[in-house]
Amino acid sequence: MRRRALLAAGAAGVAPPGVDVLVDAASLADLLARINQLFLLAPEDAAKLSTEERIAVAQALDDVGARFAGRSLSGLLVLEALKAAGARWAGARVASWVPVAGRVAAASLSYYLFHRLGTEHINECLRVRTVAALRLGRPDDF
């Protein structure tokens, strides 16, 4: 996750305005999808579950209020999350004043948001798996 966050920060620091946001959205969508796969919460993993397990996971996703877990992730969905978190607006405002300071601010903000969203997603997946396991009566195994 840190490598991806550094890539996003690098793109924000050197890429033309707008391109860095696209790089972030695509890279973050890929990272979140990989995290889903690691926790067996990717949409294609649902087909491998029994009906009881599918129901438990669906209820756990609802209970936790998961934003990204168990979903097919597109760059647009991730871009909306970045916008909601204020991903580029602060950096873009600074960039219009002082180009170098603006790029540093955009890179820092990009790294921070990328790392934060990735960490939140990992924690979200952990909560979903825990709640699903408890619903199935298997707190140690699911």
Tell me the pLDDT tens digit for each residue of 3-13: 767 666 666 66
Highest mean pLDDT among 69-73, 96-100, 127-131: 127-131
When pLDDT is cut at 50, 70 and 90, the band that residue 114 belongs to is: confident
User: Which residue, 123, 121, 136, is CA-closest to 58?
Assistant: 136
pLDDT for 75 beyond 80: no
Provide the Cα torsion 130, 132, 138, 140; round to 10°: -20
- Across the range 84-100, mean pLDDT stands at 52
How far the first Cα of the chain sits from its last, in Å, is 24
Going by pLDDT thresholds of 50, 70 and 90, the confidence category of residue 130 is very high
Q: Tell me the CA distances in angstroms from 139 to 39, 62, 102, one per residue in order.
A: 15, 18, 48
Give per-residue pLDDT as tens, 3-52. Answer: 767 666 666 666 666 666 677 777 788 888 889 898 888 888 888 889 99
Q: What is the CA radius of gyration of the chain?
A: 17
In whole angstroms, give the CA distance from residue 82 to residue 84. 5
- Cα separation, 35 vs 33, whole angstroms: 5
* Cβ atoms 133, 142 nearer than 8 A: yes
CB 43 within 8 A of CB 71: yes
User: Quick check: 72 pLDDT over 50?
Assistant: yes
Instruction: Please enumerate, as own/partner, the contacts of 54-57 that have beta carbons within 8 Å and a separation of 24 or more.
Output: 56/132, 56/135, 56/136, 56/142, 57/128, 57/132
Query: What's the pTM?
Result: 0.72
Most confident of 8-22, 91-105, 120-134: 120-134
